[in-house]
A and B are shown apart, each in its own frame.
Chain A
Amino acid sequence: MTALLSLRGVTKRFGGLVAVNRMDFDVTEHQILGLIGPNGSGKSTTLNLISGAFPLSAGSISLRGQPITHLQAQDIARRGIARTFQLVRLLPSMTVMENVKAGAVFGHRRHWGHEAEAVAEAMLEKVGMGGRGHMTVGQLTYIDTKRVELARVLAGEPRVVLLDEWLAGLNPTELEEGIHLIRSLRDEGRTVILVEHVMDAIRSLCDRCVVMAAGTKIAEGTPTEVLSDPAVIRAYLGDDDA
C-alpha cells in the first residue's frame, strides 16, 4: 500500500538539544498510527514538524509523494493536514459555532456563509455538541472544549488528523466515547496520527505504533508487538524494571 504521509530522516534541533532525531515512518490511508513514548521523547515536536508549526532542521516530509517539508503551517492545513493541541486552544472571543466555522472557512475545503455554518453544525453534531453552537467558550466543560477543538479540525475536512493527547484527562465514560469518535474518523476514510499515553486506547484504536524515546524511533509495529518489545519496556520503566 502506498504511503499517504512519509517522514524521512526528520530531525529537529533546538540549539544543542536534538528533540527529534532522524525519524522515519509512513502512514497509509485509512490508518490510525499511534505515536507513543515517555514524556519528553519528541512526540509533540514530531506533530509540530508535520503540521508546519516548526521548520525541520533536516529531513523531509511528503504527502501523497508531494514534498511539504518547506511549506508554511497554513499551506499544510490547506493540503488537508489538521491538528489538535496538547493544551486545548479555542478562540476565546468567539462562540462555539464561530470556532468550528474557522475550520470550515479556511481549511482543506473552503466553505462560506450558510454552507460553512451547515458544515460546522454537522461537525458539532458529530462530536456530540449539536445545538450548542450559540454557547461561549467560557461556558464549556473540559471535555466539551476538546470536542469543539476536534469539530474545528474536522470542519476543514482534512485527510490527515493529528491528535495530540486528545484522550488525556477524560473519565472512563468520556474515554469510551472518545475512542468511538476517533475510530469513526478512520471508518469515514480519514487517516489519524495519535500521540497518546492511554494504553487502552492505543491497544483498541491503533493499527500501528511508532515508539519514540529521547527523540529517536526505538520500535515500530502493531500495538501488541511494540508493547512487548524489551526496548519499549526499558524506555518506559527503566533498565532495572525491564
Chain B
Amino acid sequence: MTALSPRDWGNLALCAIALIIAACLPLSSGAYNLTIGVTIAMYTVLATSWALFSGPTHYISLATAAFFGVGAYVTGIGIQHLPYWTLLPIAGVIGAVMAALVGLATLRLSGVYFVIFTLGLAEFVRQAITWIQNISGTKGIYVLTQITEAHIYWQLLGLAALVWLLGWLIGRSRLGFALRIIGDDEQVARDSGINTARAKILLFMVPGAVAAITGAILAPRYVYLEPALAFTPMLSFQVVIMALLGGTGRLWGPLVGVIPFTFLWEGISASFPNQTTLLLGVCFLVIVYLLPKGFVGLIDAARRRMRNSEGFA
C-alpha cells in the first residue's frame, strides 16, 4: 500500500462531502423522493460491489439475487430471535461463505460456465426455499419492525461508503493489481506467480457479502417476504445493466449508470408495466452495442481527445 497523495486526500474529502449531502435527503424531501433515494442507494451498493469483481476479471456474475435473497431471509427469519443489528454481519458472513463455495466450484472454469452457474444458483436457492415452505406449510414471512424508509436509506448510504472505501483500498493493493492482470490474461497471471483461483475467490466474496447485507437491510421494506420477491432474477440483470451503463473501469462508474437507469426504469415500469422484461432486454442490447465501456468510457475518450488537441495546439 502506497502513501496518500494530496490528490487522494482531496478526492476522499469530496466523497465525504457528497455523502453528507446525500445523507440529508430524508430530512428535506417527501416520501416519493426518499423511495427513489433508497432504490438508487440500493443499486449503487449492488452495482459497485458487483463491478469490484466483474469489472477487472470480466466474469459476469448473475448471482446477485441469490445473495440478496439469502440476506433478506436472514432478517426475515432472524428478526424474531436476534437483535436487528446482529443480523447484518450474519448475512454478510453467510453471503461471503456462499460466494466462496460458488467460487471454489466455478472459478477454476472458464467465464461462460461461471455465468450460467451463477444464474442457476439464484433459481436453485429460490426453488429450495419454496420447497421448504411447501413441506412446512408456510407461504411467506412477515418482517414487522420499527425500521423506517429513512433508516434503510442511511444504512445503505453507510454501506455504499464502506464499499467505495473497500474498492479504493483493493484498487491500491496487490490483490487489485492481480485482478487486473487476471482480467487481461489469466495464463500470464499464473505464470507471473499469481494464485488466480485464490485472488478470484477472495474478491468474489465481496459482492457476495455486500449483496447479502443489502438484502438484510431491505427486508423490512418488503414487510412480507416470499421467494419470488427476494430471489427475482430481474435484480441480477438490472445490477449488471446499471454497472455496464456506468462503466466498470472506475470506482464511481456504476453510480453514473445507476442514477439515470433508476429514473428510466421508473418511467418504463409506470408506462409499460407488462413489457418490463422485454424493455430490460432492449436496454441491455443498446448499452452493450452503443456504450461497451459505459459512460466512463465516453468520459475517458473525451478527456483523451482534449489532451491530444492540447498537445497539437
Instruction: Indicate if B195 sits at the interface (CB-CB under 8 A).
Output: yes
Contact B184 A77 (CB under 8 A): no
Among B180, B189, B193, B194, which residue has its beta carbon within 8 angstroms of that of A93? B180
> Contacts A82-B191, A102-B177, A105-B174; is A74 near B184 (CB within 8 Å)?
no
Q: How many residues of B contact A (CB 8 A)?
A: 20
Contact B191 A51 (CB under 8 A): yes
Interface of B is mostly: helix
Contact A73 B185 (CB under 8 A): no
A-side contacts of B189, CB under 8 Å: 74, 102, 106
CA distance A198 to B192 in the complex (A): 27
Contact B190 A105 (CB under 8 A): no
Instruction: Indicate if B188 sits at the interface (CB-CB under 8 A).
Output: yes
Chain A positions 36 through 60: 1 when the CB is less than 8 Å from some CB of chain B, otherwise 0: 0000000000000001110000000
Contact B187 A77 (CB under 8 A): no
Range class of the A interface residue count:
20 to 34
Instruction: Indicate if A113 sits at the interface (CB-CB under 8 A).
Output: yes
Among A89, A101, A103, which residue has its beta carbon within 8 angstroms of that of B185? A89
Contacts of A106-129 to chain B: CB distance below 8 A: 106-108, 110, 112-114
Instruction: Indicate if B196 sits at the interface (CB-CB under 8 A).
Output: yes
Instruction: Indicate if A224 sits at the interface (CB-CB under 8 A).
Output: no
CA distance A108 to B174 in the complex (A): 15
Instruction: Indicate if B2 sits at the interface (CB-CB under 8 A).
Output: yes
Q: How far is the CB of A72 from chain B (nearest CB, A)?
A: 7
Minimum CB distance partner of A110 in chain B: B193
Contact B193 A94 (CB under 8 A): no
CA distance A113 to B2 in the complex (A): 6
Contact B183 A74 (CB under 8 A): no
Minimum CB distance partner of A101 in chain B: B177
Instruction: Indicate if A91 sits at the interface (CB-CB under 8 A).
Output: yes
A-side contacts of B185, CB under 8 Å: 89-92
CA distance A92 to B244 in the complex (A): 20
A selection of 5 A-B contacts at a CB cut-off of 8 Å is A52-B190, A91-B184, A94-B180, A94-B181, A106-B174
Residues of B in contact with A (beta carbons under 8 Å apart): 1-2, 174, 177-178, 180-181, 183-185, 187-196
Residues of A in contact with B (beta carbons under 8 Å apart): 51-53, 72-75, 77-78, 82-83, 89-94, 101-103, 105-108, 110, 112-114, 152, 156
